[in-house]
Chain A
């Protein structure tokens, strides 16, 4: 377990503990200090929500979930997992409202990115991977979400709790993530660095 991962876990636990004790002002200070505001807004933005909506969503998340529902967490050591699970559900609810608008823009984006990926020859490998990651997010949102969790330092148990599957199924799903992203990546491997 990396130090960063450990510290993020502890930080989330610390914040939840403060909310539980009714020390919401101190919890908010730590929420900002540990960079959770940016982290959650970023998480929402990568899921296709614009910054303003993402900011509002994080505010709702703090008021409606962290402040009101933090007592419902059974295992405080998995506070970070709980936070992501709840926030992901909020994004999904928000996403349902935005689905129609988003579908149009997604189709456009896909077409554009495919074209760019194939046509733009001056593109660097790094840019290409970023483009493909965006497409991967659009095409395989659930798998992309798990990739996000892995990159954020979640272990298998935490991912399992967040997506609500068994341990074996989670490992299987993680393996699928790698396999599903592979064809997206292969387009970029042709580009010289």
Chain B
């Protein structure tokens, strides 16, 4: 549009909207005024036919809005029900996941603990029974007798070697260290009720050291060692069972 047309249009719009314009073309002004007057009169005529108050108009609307609200409220109820159901489902799924993960973690930890408890070093069969007892019972247990009575700190200085019924075992019996485990040497000591030798036999069968691997035999020797009070043998027995190596 040309500038002149733009100006005429703006003046025409301004006059129609009741804004006074100076220096406007008289014909355009007349057009605009006549149009505005006609429009106002037409609107007035129509508005006069419309009642000032129409209670039925708003009554209908209010009733319709109330129905809409009720419908929406019931819809919301359903929506929230399904939403909550969905949330509950999610919670159950998540909860199951957490429980499963915890179980897995726990099993893993137990497995690690079992692995740590699993004794894979041969026991020293040259130690005396008393020494083994001290080693097995731990530091504090040595201050208590077998009935639970306190023996005092001096008990640790009592030379255990003087106790009776202690089998004296050769130092170089070839059944004391992983490197020198000899089946026959261990068997000989095991037959002499040496719990450590029995444990070592179990270990040899379990690991297949100088003998064919046999979990059942290992279990049997651990069991025999355990019968003589060897706690490590008991621990290894449990390990074999939990690992499913013996049934």
Contact = CB atoms under 8 A, between A and B. Distances in A.
Interface of A: 2, 4-5, 24-25, 28, 32, 37-38, 41-42, 45-46, 51, 55, 58-59, 62-63, 67-68, 125-126, 129-130, 132-134, 147-148, 150-151, 153, 156, 171-172, 174-175, 178, 181-182, 185, 188-189
A132 B38 CA distance: 9
Contact of B65 (A67, A151, A153): A67
Band of interface residues on B: 35 or more
Interface string B1-31: 1000110110011001111000000001011
B35 interface: yes
B5 A59 contact: no
Tell me if A's interface is mostly helix, strand, loop or mixed.
helix
A62 B61 contact: yes
Contacts of B1: 171-172, 175
Contacts of A129: 34-35, 37-38
Contact of A55 (B19, B41, B57): B57
A150 B17 contact: yes
A190 to B, nearest CB: 13
Interface string B41-61: 111001101100010011011
Nearest to A51: B49
B12 A178 contact: yes
Contacts of B65: 24, 63, 67
A76 B204 CA distance: 87
Contacts, number: 98
30 contacts: A2-B18, A4-B18, A24-B65, A25-B62, A38-B50, A41-B50, A42-B47, A45-B46, A45-B49, A46-B42, A46-B43, A58-B57, A59-B60, A63-B65, A68-B68, A126-B34, A130-B41, A134-B42, A147-B16, A148-B39, A150-B16, A151-B35, A151-B36, A151-B39, A156-B13, A172-B1, A175-B1, A178-B8, A178-B9, A178-B31
Interface of B: 1, 5-6, 8-9, 12-13, 16-19, 28, 30-31, 34-39, 41-43, 46-47, 49-50, 54, 57-58, 60-62, 64-65, 68
Nearest to B45: A130
A185 B28 CA distance: 11
Given A178-B9, A185-B31, 14 more contacts: A24-B65, A28-B62, A51-B50, A55-B54, A63-B68, A68-B68, A129-B37, A130-B41, A133-B35, A147-B16, A147-B35, A151-B35, A174-B13, A189-B30
A46 B46 contact: yes
Across the A-B interface, give the 9 residue pairs with the lowest CB-CB distance, nearest first: A129-B38, A130-B38, A42-B46, A175-B9, A63-B64, A129-B34, A133-B38, A45-B46, A151-B39
